[in-house]
Amino acid sequence: MDFEDTPEEAEFRAEVRAWLEANAPKNASANAFSADLNEKEALKIAKEWQAKKAEARYAKITWPREIGGMGGTPIQNVIYSQEEAKFNLPGGFFDIGLGMCIPTLLTHGTPEQAERYTRPALYGEEIWCQL
């Protein structure tokens, strides 16, 4: 099995790395789970980063463009995750909403529900939980 990037994947990786270097919070080492931050500070940093990722369509790479994703491949999603992990960025607050709740709503909900809830979750304006 060949784990090397294809030329297209290498190009995407370079784009992602350049974007992260230009846009990642400069205080990234003080991530959302740092003991140096209180909960409000951590959430503020995480929301700002989530909105920036969503604006650039990196928040949900495999989602269709029509709902705010990039329309990318699973491999592009892995590449982004690998590169983002090098920056120790805030995260975790949005995993349940974007990984479970919104996909369920998109599959089983109404178009009106999708319209109401997808963008706020994608941009970190709302946080979802699992009960």
pTM: 0.87
pLDDT of residue 88: 80
Spatial separation of the C-alpha atoms in residues 121 and 101, rounded to whole Å: 10
Using an 8 Å Cβ cutoff, are 63 and 119 in contact? no
Spatial separation of the C-alpha atoms in residues 10 and 90, rounded to whole Å: 25
Q: Per-residue pLDDT for 33 more than 60?
A: no
Using an 8 Å Cβ cutoff, are 15 and 61 in contact? no
pLDDT of residue 1: 84
| pLDDT tens-digit map of 54-102 | 999 999 999 999 999 999 999 999 999 999 999 888 778 999 999 999 9
Q: What domains are defined for the chain? A: 7-122 (1.10.540.10)
Q: What's the distance, CA 35 to chain centroid?
A: 23
Count of C-beta atoms within a 10 Å radius of residue 33? 12
Q: What's the distance, CA 69 to chain centroid?
A: 10
